Amino acid sequence: MNDNLTAQLKKKAFELGFSAVGIAPAAALDFAEESLKERVESGRLKDYGFSRKPAERFTHPETLIPEAKSMIVVAWPYLISEKEEGRGPKGRVARFAMGQDYHVVVTERLQELGEWLAGQVPSAKYKICVDTGPMIDRAAARAAGVGSYGKNASIITEKSGSWVVLGEMITDVELEYDDPSPMEECGNCDICVKKCPSGAIICPFVIDQTKCISHLTQMKGIIPRELRPIIGDSIYGCDICQESCPKNIGIDEKTAEEQLIPRFPALIPLLNISQEEFDQIIGPTAIAWIGRTRFRRNVAVALGNIGDSSAVPALIEALTDPEPVIRAHAAWALGQISGSDACEELKKALESETDERVIEEIESALGN
């Protein structure tokens, strides 16, 4: 194994801005494979790509490069300072989504690291994975000594707590391996389990994605009505379990310039945002993949939960939107806010509405 090359590679990774880097043998992640199979069989991952392919696809680095020797795992810190913007009711965006899309940022940095490695070892082959890639990144991070699991299933690193996103590089270059991190270091603490408003951490280290607020803001279609209130003012992702974690206290923030969308954006201008505005404002962030309709749906739910009557005109406008999903959630939000204008417009909308799901939402809203 090449100790000097390993030390230089880690130095380069830190220079690129990663806050942790570790190296594991490119061997099967057996623990993760068992756990993934169990989660798929229990139906807790039914909306995820994991349930459509064999577990081995996500846990065997050698499927990416047959002669793979090493798996380099990096942690990218994303805690940036917060600000509010605009007037009126505000939503809440998960911190990882405020800056430029991390898939782009981490992939670019890993690509640079790969090019550096190929400069040292011209025969080097490497493949990069960031979130949507085939490797289970949290299991890879633990195997490479980057961090331990928290009871909220996030990876907790020494320098940046759990405020990190992860990436991997699988390579055929033999490097010096790190010891795996302990499986967990939470001890008796179970603050995040108790703080999760939807009870999505059904037991330590096990998340029921169907209840997780972050998942609800990303799912397709109509959000189950009974779950909308727990979403609160979140319009993308959720940080509640991380905010409550004592291991995340005292972590250094990065500079404010990297913030593209405020942590607490004004909601009313976002409800009927045009495609052009969406592409411009949301397009460069990690929120963009859910698309304009899901994003506006989330804004409608947050406005309904906040219950500020200043949102009524924008919600009335959304009642005539071409997308049934928007009309359905706007009707629900108007029902939450109530008031005579909202009722009048809901009754009018009921007369011309043809989509059964929307009719049902309007009737339910009028029932409120």
Q: Is 189 in the site for ligand SF4 (CB under 6 A)?
A: yes
Q: Residues 10, 127, 215, 247: which binds ligand SF4 (CB under 6 A)? A: 247
CB of 246 to ligand SF4, least distance (A): 6
Cα–Cα distance for residue pair 209/42, rounded to 1 Å: 11
DSSP-assigned beta bridge partners for residue 126: 171
Q: Which of 104, 91, 103, 102 is nearest to 262 (CA)?
A: 91
CB of 245 to ligand SF4, least distance (A): 3
How far are the Cα atoms of 1, 178, 196, 239, 309 from residue 163, in angstroms, in the given order? 32, 22, 17, 10, 35
Q: Is 244 in the site for ligand SF4 (CB under 6 A)?
A: yes
Beta carbon nearer to ligand SF4, 140 or 241: 241
Q: Residues 186, 301, 318, 328: which binds ligand SF4 (CB under 6 A)? A: 186
Say if residues 273 and 296 touch (Cβ distance below 8 Å).
Answer: yes
Count residues contacting ligand SF4 (CB under 6 A)?
Answer: 12
Cα–Cα distance for residue pair 134/137, rounded to 1 Å: 9
Cα–Cα distance for residue pair 279/274, rounded to 1 Å: 9
97 C-beta neighbours (distance < 10 Å), count: 21
Beta carbon nearer to ligand SF4, 133 or 204: 204
Cα–Cα distance for residue pair 308/1, rounded to 1 Å: 62
Q: Is 308 in the site for ligand SF4 (CB under 6 A)?
A: no
Is 131 marked active-site? yes
Q: Note the helical H segments in 235-339.
A: 240-243, 268-271, 275-281, 291-306, 312-318, 324-337
Contact range with ligand SF4 by CB under 6 A, out of 22-30, 43-51, 189-197, 282-290: 189-197
Beta carbon nearer to ligand SF4, 186 or 267: 186
Q: Is 245 in the site for ligand SF4 (CB under 6 A)?
A: yes
Q: Is 310 in the site for ligand SF4 (CB under 6 A)?
A: no
224-260 b/e (C-beta count within 10 Å ≥ 16 → b): eeeebebbbbbbbbbbbbbebbebbeebeebeeeebb
CB of 232 to ligand SF4, least distance (A): 19
Contact range with ligand SF4 by CB under 6 A, out of 11-19, 56-64, 182-190, 278-286: 182-190
User: Shortest Cβ contact with ligand SF4: which residue?
Assistant: 150
Beta carbon nearer to ligand SF4, 129 or 240: 240
Contact range with ligand SF4 by CB under 6 A, out of 44-52, 113-121, 208-216, 244-252: 244-252
Cα–Cα distance for residue pair 261/133, rounded to 1 Å: 25
Q: Which of 115, 106, 120, 129 is nearest to 175 (CA)?
A: 120
Q: Is 182 in the site for ligand SF4 (CB under 6 A)?
A: no
Query: According to CB under 6 A, which residues from 113 to 172 bind ligand SF4?
Result: 150-152
Query: According to CB under 6 A, which residues from 56 to 95 bind ligand SF4?
Result: none
Beta carbon nearer to ligand SF4, 251 or 290: 251
Contact range with ligand SF4 by CB under 6 A, out of 95-103, 232-240, 245-253, 351-359: 245-253
Instruction: Catalytic residue, from 131, 172, 190, 341: name it.
Output: 131
Amino acid at 97: A
How far are the Cα atoms of 63, 170, 279, 355, 362 from residue 350, in angstroms, in the given order? 54, 56, 32, 10, 7
Cα–Cα distance for residue pair 202/193, rounded to 1 Å: 8
Using CB under 6 A, list all residues that contact ligand SF4.
Answer: 150-152, 186, 189-192, 244-247
So which residues are the catalytic ones?
131
